[in-house]
Amino acid sequence: MNWSLIAAVLLALAVVFGAFGAHALKDRLDAYSMSVWEKAVFYHFLHAMGMLVVTILPRTGTFPEGGADTVCWLLFIGILLFSGSLYLLALTGTRVLGAITPLGGIAFILGWLMLAWRLRRIL
């Protein structure tokens, strides 16, 4: 899988969603929903950037390709579940979507721990 390409697209989407929130949603969402949207964008951007960085590591010869693939899958799933559920929560107000968010958080945590596990062998 071309994780660099996917990360670049996710980063572009994070900017689009951020701008959409700042301009199209600012008068449509209440303060709580806007803060949820902004948190979704922040975590989306942060973890997409993390994916991009992780894809560079195998190219330096300091990190196994398979390890990067696993980390990127976990971060990608985290973006979908964590940020995706928050985007939907902000737009719909359906609070039950908040039950999905922690699953994305767990994927984020597992991704970063997998990165740490792989790096401990190198450093």
pLDDT tens digits, residue range 34-72?
A: 999 999 999 999 999 999 999 999 888 878 878 899 999
Apex CA 38: angle with CA 32 and CA 44, to 5°?
Answer: 140
- Going by pLDDT thresholds of 50, 70 and 90, the confidence category of residue 118 is confident
**Rounded to whole angstroms, how far apart are CA atoms 72 and 70?**
5
Place of tokens 């948190």: 39
Domain boundaries, the chain: 3-120
Buried b (16+ CB within 10 A) or exposed e, 30-61: eeebbebbbbbbebbbebbebbbebbebbeee
**Mean predicted lDDT score pLDDT of the chain:** 94
Whole-prediction pTM value? 0.93
